[in-house]
Copies of this chain bind each other. A is one copy, B any other.
């Protein structure tokens, strides 16, 4: 490898982009999420169960799925990023995600969510990035599951979850 300081700056900027993306998702800061994507970005979440093209369609989809009753923590790790040109890169990340659904969620259609479920999953993200006038953005993003587990309330007599509408943010 012949990495130089500019390469480290690029890796840092792409990591910060990914961290902002998951922060936007988990805090439901839609302006922040939108700003992570190129205008023509495409996504294929959950191995293609949820695919959308174009930033506006992606945002409409995400807002329909990640509703106020969706309390999530997506963590991303192990970036293996390949700088393919001065303005393009691709990379993989491990994802682990936990979602507590406090009410029904018809958009998460494959899992019959009625409220009280917990989803825990693991996957690899396969991302593509582009650098434009306003920095690095996600141009393509998808993930393939290793596993996805659902715990339903009927089997959890001793389970209690306290969700917080602040979702990790300091609220004055």
Chain A contact residues, CB within 8 Å of chain B: 1, 3-5, 8-9, 11-13, 16, 19-20, 22-23, 26-27, 47, 71-73, 75-80, 92, 94, 96, 98, 100, 118, 120, 122-124, 126, 143-164, 166-171
Query: What residues on B are CB-neighbors of A26 within 8 Å?
Result: 94, 122, 146
Q: A153-B158, A161-B149 are in contact. Are A169 and B124 (CB under 8 A)?
A: yes
Instruction: Across the interface, name the chain B residue whose C-beta is closest to A11.
Output: B12
Q: How far is the CA of A118 from the CA of B13 in the complex (A)?
A: 36
* Least CB separation from A26: chain B residue: B146
Q: Would A118 and B149 be within 8 Å (CB), given that A73-B94, A166-B144 are in contact?
A: yes
A154 to B47, CA, bound (A): 30
A164 and B147 within 8 A (CB)? yes
Residues of B contacting A71 in the complex (Cβ-Cβ under 8 angstroms) = 146-147
Whether A72 pairs with B126 at a CB distance below 8 angstroms is no
On whether A78 and B76 interact (CB within 8 A), knowing A118-B149, A148-B161, A158-B154, the answer reads: yes
Cα(A167)–Cα(B146), bound, Å? 4
| Contact call B75/A77, Cβ cutoff below 8 A | yes
| Docked-complex contact A148 and B162, CB < 8 angstroms | yes
A75 to chain B, nearest CB (A): 5
Sample of 10 A–B contacts (CB below 8 Å): A1-B9, A8-B8, A19-B79, A23-B94, A26-B94, A73-B94, A96-B98, A144-B164, A144-B166, A145-B166
